[in-house]
């Protein structure tokens, strides 16, 4: 069971390496939880942030490794809060 879970996480992280917009991220990770998408692989080898850096995203703001905002190559933003992904800047 865990092998399938971590395989899915690896596939998601790989797909995120070519994400160029907030819509791409939400489409790759899908909806589950209070956000528009959710990454269940926190604590694994790779991170959403690392994959998005590879895709050309830039860090706008970070309070902690689990709470940050990034800008996509197309200018759209996402906020990451403990695995939940929100479209836009949700700091406030």
pTM comes to 0.93
Q: Which residues contact 10 (CB under 8 A, 6 or more apart)?
A: 46
HEC readout, 62-78: EEECCEEEEECCCCCEE
As a whole number of angstroms, the distance between CA 8 and CA 79 comes to 22
Nearest CA to 10 out of 54, 46, 50 is that of 46
Return the H-helix or E-strand segment holding 2. helix 2-16
Mean pLDDT by 10 residues, the chain (92 residues): 91 98 96 87 89 98 96 98 96 86
Provide the pLDDT for residue 31: 75
């Amino acid at each position: 069971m865990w092998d399938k879970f971590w395989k899915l996480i690896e596939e998601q992280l790989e797909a995120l390496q070519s994400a160029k917009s907030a819509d791409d991220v939400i489409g790759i990770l899908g909806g589950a939880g209070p956000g528009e998408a959710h990454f269940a692989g926190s604590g694994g080898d790779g991170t959403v942030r690392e994959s998005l850096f590879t895709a050309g995203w830039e860090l706008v703001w970070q309070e902690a490794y689990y709470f940050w905002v990034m800008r996509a190559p197309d200018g759209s933003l996402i906020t990451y809060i403990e695995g939940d992904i929100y479209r836009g800047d949700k700091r406030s």
